[in-house]
Structure 1
């Protein structure tokens, strides 16, 4: 990051230049992504001391750390305007007036073994003066531009000092104009009180342990009549006060909590008190450009995993040969599947994943999405590294999970539904199916290859990285089912693949964690809306769950195959393909997610939620709030392509009453 002189910083503010820089002596850091009427400050975040005063300091690193406010800048780094102190408060305290800013004694301890010279004190006080020159220029610019301004002055404190229960968040409002700003103080406390912290009771208060008597609040309040400063203390629940050890999970929870709290609170203040045009949603007061570190991290992740295609690797290359041997043996032969060799070194791949500096992403919601995605690839690598072994099943369970008791009950409910008949209108030839798939891709305006292959266990498959649709050779396609299959593969899987390619962030091509649940849920929904789900397809969804349940219960390939034939009356060839789907690789539990994913999407639609942003790429419902925010902030694009049957259903929401009745019976 560049360093600027104080005059250069002041000139940038005067000319409304967007910038991020250290002061020339690196005593503080300022970031202005956008000129907007709220500011976050973390003036005690730093711990640096220049050499000539450090040599005289009696206090250890830990003793200084104990009274500093570590991580407070990190709590609010998401926001567009941030100013943070980089020097230790023991060199000079930015929250004290100049006359008392350089300590002789602090919290009962002598600070210096030899008194500081006059010139040493002057150097420290010059830094103090320069910092407040910048603060004054910044607030003046924002007040002039927007009439009013809000400052979140973030600190931390050592809660174990107290012999009584103390708040997690304390607002010091003694010097705040209560008549004018009292409601904003109260609403800020209410927002802080809603922050959820795992295993920590969040009690938030006003003027409990601190009263807001610091110099930053005093300085700004005395000079600017239309700026509210909220001096906010966070108890050091996010670290061990006795050792200095930090707790990353709690730090992230506080970051997430502050993001929501400040967005909600600042939005109301900005909308009511300022002339800034805020739009209709809270995220409109966040910066809407992709930060450079995010772009670098996204590119690094994409380059690493772009050719990583799980399904294309775990499909047996000798599927048809093994099927013939199995059927010829009267179901006694145990298939010996073979797979293409891995094109990655698992250890090297994971090392490169570990080197991605995801912590450099400032926005906590986006950071969490990338952290989870990278972690999911650790699981996928472990899955592939154990292809064909007993460990494959363990890793599949870790990534995809296994059917719950409710999943099994739902599968049984579907399997024992009375048979219903839907006219299939005959079958298509293989050539006709290829032509229909080609026409569908042409209608959408896609450029995709269509291939016929023996080496897939399903009737059709989209390979995203190769932009290819693979159709299983020799399989009969009844006409009604084919309509749904085209919507499933082209209208959903290919649509989301192509929309992902249109995104500035490639994580949506990479795929969010366990996106199978959402993607297959959408795909089954497209079949539902086309009224192409016949009784056999309905049973197939239930049988996939039951086959995975048999796998995880310890049944062999042959035992599961026989159960599917004898108990569920499947034809031998169909039972073989379904068993293969589940047992390939050593035990692949993905198929249990189709029915669960479909119910998840049905619930999502029933809540009145739009499907649009789920179509921007390989998304997951779990991250829809972050995706919606990114779209609203114009950091990613709305979907370029839209599943046609979804649009048609919005215009004419007719549903097959039999299917509607059945699917309503599936439990959440």
Structure 2
């Protein structure tokens, strides 16, 4: 029996729109993330952590031993929520084990809420994608609960309160207890699919039955992140940031080696030096797999964190293998091979623009002149993010321009076309630094540390910014194409010298440009990451053409395949809308965005 005082307090908290996370007798738990028009209930005889995990993917659930009388609690929840939202849906779930059969049984009242029942059945039928034997049968009955238990509520009472009860028998095809087997990978897919199906079913119910604030089924998901998830996210971010992966795979002597390379008439492979690695990758991996991701209930967040853990593991292995062929092979599995369509685009660019654009006597900016203009942009975003420290530093140990978190590093040897100044500022500050700052504003640290494979979208979005502000030049597009050609050359087995000559002789890059492209591709033992600049640009252009929301891409650091997850988290209120780059307010930028929406060829991006 649950104490009446506790029940009264729970319902009062609901009336006040407060979240509920309450321990109940005999290790029961009631969780209601926010005022939601439904609840999933599981009454168990023996603890079943896997089945309980299916309910914990929801924003509203009650898991309790069957010996505990919850009728008064359920009645109070039903009455309180129905009063506020006009109706309430109870889905009582229980496991069934039938010799590997995969049949769901939906128990419902005859002729009531057919759209809701159809949504549930059709959703379950769609699960055949992950397990072809899955099916669903609908039983019109008043027995919508396990046969050995009593009903949660009296049927007549549910009619008065506007409550609908559905029973759902779930086949536990993700395990074989008699053989002591659990199919963990399948279970995660099963839980994620079922979680979405239940939310879509609830949304169909409230669309017809209730007045509610939910415009999309995704908004029914959890808004509040639990302690275990935040802790896991925190631990992953600490390990990721502690690696400083790009700094530790970038030569510190690239400028000096360029001078020697030229003195040797491009005949001797440069000898690059790197920063010492002040961590033990094996110990970091141990920390990585001590993180309790199996206890993260939210399927979306669990997927993001697992994906990131795999990326970090590969990067740690790459640090161990720095300077060897294994570095390259692991890097290829991390960043992917050069896509045929991207390689084709690279060759198309170099065919359309076979020569370097040599405009005579253009004004040049050195590191100090560029820094002067970049500081103005940093100052603007500093006002938007007063709790962060945005910095600029001129250094000897970087090549060109580089961003690390909120720091803009500029080579003391920088000499650049003054016409490219604004474009590079929007690339580095209004994309890389801004998305980091937006990510820092979010409750999930991966939003700034970066999801797995985030580089592709980041670089594509940054190059897009160059086009939007009118600063994408022939030489810049040729550079991106050259990086793809060089990455393909590396993976085809070419040496540093062969790739350099391919760029220098066959594609007419200057000797210095061909060197720096090749250096970046061959650093550490071979890093194909630079191919993602053009790949990212191709994917972002396609995304906008297909009606994608450009503003969403500034929410943090993630890849295009994560956009649907980001939009879900925005809908759920887990993430905050981003601060947008101020260049999007320019009239000429708005015109170029319209061109992108209508479709534009890659080689026509030249401003």
TM-score normalised to structure 2 length: 0.89
Distance in 2 (CA, whole Å) between partners of 1:654 and 1:287 is: 34
Distance in 2 (CA, whole Å) between partners of 1:580 and 1:293 is: 42
Measured after TM superposition, the shift of residue 338 of structure 1 is 0.9
Contact 1:13 1:141 in 2 (8 A): no
Cross-structure match for 2:392: 450
Measured after TM superposition, the shift of residue 591 of structure 1 is 0.8
Within the candidate set 61, 74, 88, 1:149 is matched to 88
Cross-structure match for 1:417: 352
Please state whether the residue corresponding to 2:332 is helix, strand or coil: helix
Cross-structure match for 2:24: 23
Contact 1:197 1:253 in 2 (8 A): no
Cross-structure match for 2:158: 224
Alignment deviations for residues 55-112 of structure 1 (CA, whole Å, 9 cap, x no partner)? xxxxxxxxxxxxxx662221121223211234xxxxxxx4xxxxxxxxxxxxxxxxxx
2:51 pairs with 1:72: yes
2:107 pairs with 1:195: no
Contact 2:221 2:572 in 1 (8 A): yes
Contact 1:400 1:514 in 2 (8 A): yes
Alignment deviations for residues 131-185 of structure 1 (CA, whole Å, 9 cap, x no partner)? 3443344334434444422111222322427xxxx65432133xx1x23333322
Within the candidate set 140, 143, 146, 1:214 is matched to 146
Cross-structure match for 1:121: none
When residues 439 and 300 of structure 1 are mapped into structure 2, their CA distance, relative to the original with a 3 A threshold, is same
Within the candidate set 330, 342, 365, 1:407 is matched to 342
Distance in 2 (CA, whole Å) between partners of 1:209 and 1:238 is: 28
Alignment deviations for residues 568-601 of structure 1 (CA, whole Å, 9 cap, x no partner)? 1222111111110000111011011111110111
Alignment deviations for residues 296-350 of structure 1 (CA, whole Å, 9 cap, x no partner)? 2233333333343222111111212222222111122121111111122111111
Measured after TM superposition, the shift of residue 289 of structure 1 is 2.4
When residues 627 and 497 of structure 1 are mapped into structure 2, their CA distance, relative to the original with a 3 A threshold, is same
Within the candidate set 332, 353, 372, 1:435 is matched to 372
Give 1 or 2 for the bigger CA radius of gyration. 1
Contact 1:582 1:591 in 2 (8 A): yes
Contact 2:119 2:204 in 1 (8 A): no
Cross-structure match for 1:65: none
When residues 395 and 5 of structure 1 are mapped into structure 2, their CA distance, relative to the original with a 3 A threshold, is same
Cross-structure match for 1:260: 196
2:125 pairs with 1:186: no
Within the candidate set 427, 433, 438, 1:488 is matched to 427
Please state whether the residue corresponding to 1:429 is helix, strand or coil: strand
2:574 pairs with 1:642: no
Of residues 193-202 and 325-334 in structure 1, the stretch that sits farther from structure 2 once superposed is: 193-202
Cross-structure match for 1:85: 64
Measured after TM superposition, the shift of residue 426 of structure 1 is 1.8
Distance in 2 (CA, whole Å) between partners of 1:444 and 1:34 is: 34
Contact 1:283 1:629 in 2 (8 A): yes
2:232 pairs with 1:235: no
When residues 665 and 572 of structure 1 are mapped into structure 2, their CA distance, relative to the original with a 3 A threshold, is closer
Please state whether the residue corresponding to 2:29 is helix, strand or coil: strand
2:9 pairs with 1:12: yes
TM-score normalised to structure 1 length: 0.81
Of residues 368-377 and 530-539 in structure 1, the stretch that sits farther from structure 2 once superposed is: 530-539
When residues 510 and 75 of structure 1 are mapped into structure 2, their CA distance, relative to the original with a 3 A threshold, is same
Distance in 2 (CA, whole Å) between partners of 1:274 and 1:516 is: 43
Gaps of 5+ in 1: 49-68, 87-93, 95-126
Of residues 329-338 and 468-477 in structure 1, the stretch that sits farther from structure 2 once superposed is: 468-477
Instruction: Give the alignment's Cα RMSD to 1 decimal.
Output: 3.0
Contact 2:103 2:136 in 1 (8 A): yes
Within the candidate set 67, 78, 98, 1:139 is matched to 78
Please state whether the residue corresponding to 2:99 is helix, strand or coil: helix
Distance in 1 (CA, whole Å) between partners of 2:544 and 2:30 is: 44
Cross-structure match for 2:386: none
